[in-house]
Structure 1
Amino acid sequence: MFGLIGHLNSLEHAQSVAQELGYPEYADQGLDFWCSAPPQIVDDIKVTSVTGQQIEGKYVESCFLPEMLATRRIKAATRKIINAMAHAQKHGIDITALGGFSSIIFENFNLQQIKQVRNVQLKFEQFTTGNTHTAYIICQQVEQAAKQLGIDLNRATVAVCGASGDIGSAVCRWLNARTDVADLLLIARNQERLQALQAELGRGKILDLETALPQADIVVWVASMPKGIEIDAQMLKHPCLMIDGGYPKNLATKIQHPGVYILNGGIVEHSLDIDWKIMKIVNFMDVPARQLFACFAESMLLEFEKVYTNFSWGRNQITVAKMDQIGQMSRKHGFRPLLFENSPV
């Protein structure tokens, strides 16, 4: 059985979803209540592969809200993730994906030091961040969406915002090894890690955001959008492909120009309808019966293949070989990257 640990976008969003899921006692409560609310299994899921194989899973609502980080309730946020992991393990889930902020909080606050939650001895090998599949799907979106827009990768400059992170560094490794992209621009706050990545790749220019964006034919955004930042769409190339791989996805609300094409990054479409209610209720996707985060799909793929291991774990450990491996599983079971419905140009 696979599991998905998720969370909602805001307190207001959480209140409305709680009402729809049948938890009226949660619906009118404020942030303090959500800081103490325990994790809940709120959905049973069935997924059918194009091979005919069927698997079952559960969606674990962690009750984490982004406001907990914004209001410095760090202990509440970290407790949410660890408790959700223990809840999944206690219910016999073999492999569970940490979705959204769950994996970010786990890594940034070094939660692997916590070995036990009450009477549950955590088995970290039963959890995956899903970042390998996310990175693979973003790379496929770069390659395939570029074709849709008539952008020739052999002549293209690709900027990766958040290049020093787990997903960003993996995207850079893939573009360096598997494409003939003309130029690679590396952008991140941590200059030391950027320099190490540049040395590993043997190429790439380390630039700040303002310098890099006007040079880029393709921008892969896998970092949080800094508060207060404004991007002048007139200064970008036209056409410019922007892959919004961050969380939450907000590039489309910040950049609106007919020559800038924004694609939600790290999203997959399944060939068959998935039997679940959670995606319909939370309203994350345009086609909730088939579209989902690639990190969630990673746990499904591992369940299909009976690979019960933390396939994606730790920072900057994703290799091109691992991306090939998860990509093969993804294609085999009927998942494909989200692309533009029709050629936009």
Structure 2
Amino acid sequence: MFGLIGHSTSFEDARKTALQIGYDHLDGDLDVWCSAPPQFLEQIEVESLTGKKIEGAYIDSCFVPEMLSRFKTARRKVLNAMEMAQKRGIQISALGGFTSIIFENFNLLKHQHVRNTTLEWERFTTGNTHTAWVICRQLENNAPLLGIDLSKARVAVVGATGDIGSAVCRWLSARTGVAELLLVARQQQPLIDLQTELAGGRILSLEEALPEADVVVWVASMPRTLEIDMESLRKPCLMIDGGYPKNLDAKFAGSGVHVLKGGIVEFCNDISWDVGWIAEMDKPARQMFACFAEAMLLEFENCHTNFSWGRNQITLEKMDFIGMASLRHGFSSLNLNHQLQAAAA
């Protein structure tokens, strides 16, 4: 059995969802939500393209982004949701959205004991390997649609030293063969280390990289104060929004600049679940974050292990494994096709 551990995109959306599904006890202010335990919302059945059927569950951590500044609350929310998944006997659960970010950035590995439960780390995955593979596939599929020749293209990776960003860089360097990688991140030494590992790539600031890039992969939050001269960007330019939350549309969408929601997949069959519309997908019965899909894939493959775990541990071999499984079981990456067709109409 697989599990999906997620949350709503905002406190306002969380309250609306709670009332719609009959959780009237959560009709309170943010303090009420800070004390609320995780909620086991629904059981899910998924059928692979191969015909194999698996069962899973969605657990809402009752975390909302407004709690990020409350360190202890955010930590407790994620750990409590993980404990619930383990107690329910779920063999592999994916941490979605901010739950994964909280786990990594707040170093929750130091907190393996939750009340009388010792968390078994092998039951959990961040889903980052599948997310990285999907972003790379989106780049490879969509850049040519815009007339971008990847063998001649400069690709900027914003957040290059993170878990997903470094995996994307490894893949693009070794498998895709882009002309040049532009490496962007906050801390200099990890960038130098990554550049050494890749035996290539140019370290630039965000302001320096954007005007040079034919493709920009964002796997870090965009600075709120960032001011962009749209005229300085290359045309055409593909922007892959692989961060969370996805907010590049309002900033960059325009003539010659194409923004694609990164790290999202579409399944071959409809799934009867409510979490699709909670996540605000265009096709809620089929589309989901790639990190969630990783838990399904591991269940389909009977591979119950913390497949994505720890920073900079994603190998090309792991990306190959999860990528082949993704295709085999009926997942496809979200592409620009429908956007381009609408623009041409």
Out of 178, 189, 194, which is 1:192 matched to? 189
Q: For 2:89, which of 89, 92, 101 is the aligned residue?
A: 92
Give the Å deviation of 1:342: 4.0
Q: Are 1:331 and 2:330 matched, yes or no?
A: no
Q: 2:276–2:286: 8 Å Cα contact kept in structure 1? A: no
Q: 1:18-71: per-residue Cα shift (whole Å, max 9, x none)?
A: 1112112213x11111111000111111111010111110000001111111xx
Is residue 315 from structure 1 mapped to residue 293 from structure 2 by the alignment? no
- Cα distance in 1 for partners of 2:222, 2:30 equals 24
Measure how far apart 1:256 and its partner are: 2.7
Query: C-alpha deviations, 1:122-169, integer Å up to 9, x for none?
Result: 001100000000000000000000121121001100000000100000
Equivalent AA in structure 2 for residue 310 of structure 1? N
The one-letter code matched in structure 1 to 2:86 is Q
Does residue 151 (structure 1) correspond to residue 135 (structure 2)? The answer is no
Alignment of 1:109-124 (within 5 A): 109-124=106-121
Return 115-124 or 91-100, whichever deviates more: 115-124
AA aligned opposite 2:10: S
Partner AA of 2:267 in structure 1:
H
Q: Matched residues in 1 for 2:58 and 2:251: separation?
A: 31
The answer on whether the counterparts of 1:266 and 1:293 sit within 8 Å (CA) in structure 2 is yes
* Partners of 2:236 and 2:87 in 1: CA distance: 50
- The one-letter code of the counterpart of 1:275 is S
TM-score (norm 2): 0.97
Shift of 1:227: 2.1
Match for residue 286 of structure 1? Answer: 282
State the Cα distance separating 1:343 from its structure 2 match.
Answer: 7.2
Structure 1 unmatched runs, 5+: none
Whole-angstrom CA distance in 1 between matches of 2:231 and 2:33: 42
| 8 Å CA contact retained: 2:92, 2:305 | yes
Deviation at 1:230, TM superposition (A): 2.1
Residue 94 of structure 1 and its aligned partner are, at CA, apart by: 0.4
Larger deviation: 302-311 or 16-25?
Answer: 16-25
Q: Distance in 2 between matches of 1:35 and 1:342?
A: 40
Kept in 1: contact 2:45–2:271 (CA 8 A): yes
Give 1:247-258 correspondences, 5 Å limit.
247-258=244-255
For residues 117 and 180 of structure 1, what CA distance do their matches in structure 2 show? 45
Distance in 1 (CA, whole Å) between partners of 2:298 and 2:151 is: 34
Q: Is the 8 A contact 1:4 1:98 kept in 2?
A: yes
8 Å CA contact retained: 2:9, 2:279: no
Match of residue 30 from structure 1:
29
| Cα distance, 1:222–1:120 mapped onto 2, change above 3 Å | same
Alpha-carbon distance between aligned partners in 2 of 1:283 and 1:179, rounded to the nearest angstrom: 30
SS in 1 for 2:221: coil
Give 2:169's aligned amino acid. Answer: C
Assess if the C-alpha contact under 8 Å between 1:11 and 1:31 holds in 2. Answer: yes
Match of 2:264 in 1: 267
Q: In structure 1, what is the equivalent of residue 73 of structure 2?
A: 76
Displacement after TM superposition at 1:289 (Å): 0.6
The aligned amino acid for 2:271 is I
Runs of 4 or more consecutive aligned structure 1 residues displaced over 6 Å after TM superposition: none
Residue number in structure 1 paired with 2:64: 65
Give distance in 1, aligned partners of 2:146 and 2:21. 41
Q: Which runs of 5+ in 2 are unaligned?
A: none
| 1:4 counterpart = 2:1 | no
In structure 1, the partner of 2:298 is 302
Quote the Cα distance in structure 1 between the aligned partners of 2:112 and 2:130: 26
> RMSD of the alignment, in Å?
1.1
Structure 2 distance, partners of 1:232, 1:295, is 33
Q: CA shift at 1:95, angstroms?
A: 0.1
Task: Tell me the distance in 2 between the aligned counterparts of 1:107 and 1:292.
Answer: 21
C-alpha distance after superposition, 1:207-253 (max 9, x if no partner): 00011000000000000111211222221101000000000000001
Question: What is the rounded CA distance, in whole Å, between the counterparts of 2:290 and 2:227 in structure 1?
Answer: 28
For these two proteins, the number of residue pairs brought into alignment is 341
Q: In the alignment, residue 99 of structure 1 is paired with which amino acid? A: G
How far apart are the structure 2 equivalents of 1:232 and 1:57? 46
- Residue in structure 1 matching 2:240, options 215, 235, 243: 243
Could you say which residue in structure 1 is the equivalent of 2:16? 16
Letter in 2 for 1:74: F
Corresponding residue for residue 43 of structure 1: 42
Contact 1:149 1:343 in 2 (8 A): no
Helix, strand or coil at the partner of 1:306: coil
Q: TM-score if structure 1 supplies the norm length?
A: 0.97
- Distance (Å, rounded) in 1 between the aligned partners of 2:230 and 2:20: 39
**Identity between Structure 1 and Structure 2 (%):** 61
